[in-house]
Amino acid sequence: MNIGIDIEEVKRFDKYVKDKTYLERIFSKEEILYSLAKKNAAQYLTARFAAKEAVWKALSSKNKKLIITDISVRNDKDGKPQVYVKNKKYNKINISLSHTKKYVAAVAIAF
């Protein structure tokens, strides 16, 4: 079992909400559409980024070639975040996201 954790400041992502080039370099199409549809898009982008970082940390010892753009986070029909690696659902990892207006934290446990 491996654990990854990340914490990010939401204000760091405020400037990227309207920067399509940056968003497309870091996030999947689904992550961008999901986040930008929200009133507080920066908070949702920050949560997705923190989740990707936490997953990368949890999986990097297993897969040295994994990069952050290989990872995406999508919600299931019940709203629970799910991890996808190279567009395939990755069932051997659990993630938890938490946020306030200023900060986002993400934890990933790979088993």
Q: Give the confidence band of 20 by pLDDT, cuts at 50, 70, 90.
A: very high
pLDDT in tens, 34-70: 999 999 999 999 999 999 999 999 998 777 788 999 9
String of b and e for 77-111 (b: at least 16 CB within 10 Å)? Answer: eeeebebbbeeeebeebebebebeeeebbbbbbbe
Domain range for residue 24? Answer: 2-110
The span from the CA of 57 to the CA of 80, in Å, is 20
Task: Report the number of distinct structural domains present in the chain.
Answer: 1
User: What CATH number did the domain enclosing 69 receive?
Assistant: 3.90.470.20
pLDDT in tens, 60-110: 877 778 899 999 999 999 999 999 999 999 999 999 999 999 999 999 999
pLDDT at position 60: 83
